[in-house]
Chains A and B, each alone.
Chain A
Amino acid sequence: EAGVAQSPRYKIIEKRQSVAFWCNPISGHATLYWYQQILGQGPKLLIQFQNNGVVDDSQLPKDRFSAERLKGVDSTLKIQPAKLEDSAVYLCASSLYQLRHLTLNTEAFFGQGTRLTVV
């Protein structure tokens, strides 16, 4: 079974530039997450999709970050303009489903991440 695919693996940009990350989840997984992992910290949820709908984007800095999952499969996370503090690893994860009304909570599988350095 193919895992969660992310690209690029590494990206270096100057502050105020824009950047985009791509994620292709495991086939059939309805739920997709984007996490930000700053060096020395645990991953922090940025946005969660269920199919092509947003479940939670409360921690996404919407003035500069955007994400979409138009067809309910792959997803793109964009930063425009980037700041120095955006330097981090951006992790994508997927799971079969997360249905709170049924108390169903399946395992999340993570991609290898994209390491962003803003200089």
Chain B
Amino acid sequence: AQSVTQLGSHVSVSEGALVLLRCNYSSSVPPYLFWYVQYPNQGLQLLLKYTSAATLVKGINGFEAEFKKSETSFHLTKPSAHMSDAAEYFCAVSLPSGNSGYALNFGKGTSLLVTP
């Protein structure tokens, strides 16, 4: 079955530094991949998604991710961290669900801390 693994449950960066959050997927075929962000006491908000149209995907708030089939990776990056980026980030893959649908299968999440 397809799944995602997020490396590092906690990542700490300084304000203005590069953000790199790692996600690897296990799949024999190109999957639908997503990054979601969750702020405290909030639901999940979609940052970006890969649907095989382009390997470099740009999302909201300056985030982007690159799909690398050879490395089975979909790492999330942002050139310069802001204090407001502190949140929990989830990588997810869309899996067949039941007989006719799709559902998201999430990684365990990475908590991003941004220090002044």
Contacts and interface: CB of A to CB of B under 8 A. Distances in A.
A88 interface: no
B101 A42 contact: no
Contacts of B9: 40
A100 B96 contact: yes
B32 to A, nearest CB: 5
B106 A112 contact: no
B90 interface: yes
B97 interface: yes
B103 A112 contact: no
B45 interface: yes
Contact of A45 (B36, B45, B97, B108): B97
Given A107-B46, A107-B49, A55 B109 contact: no
A80 to B, nearest CB: 24
A98 B106 contact: no
Interface string A83-115: 000000001010000111100010111111101
B116 interface: no
Contacts of B32: 105
A45 B43 contact: no
A44 B109 CA distance: 12
B106 to A, nearest CB: 3
A54 B103 CA distance: 13
B98 A110 contact: no
B108 A42 contact: yes
Nearest to B109: A42
Interface in B27-48: 32, 36, 41-46
B98 A42 contact: no
B97 A110 contact: no
B102 A44 contact: no
Contacts of A50: 100-101
A30 to B, nearest CB: 10
Contact of B44 (A31, A44, A55, A110): A110
Interface of B: 9, 32, 36, 41-46, 49, 51, 90, 92, 94, 96-109
9 contacts: A40-B9, A41-B108, A43-B104, A48-B101, A55-B98, A100-B100, A108-B46, A110-B45, A111-B43
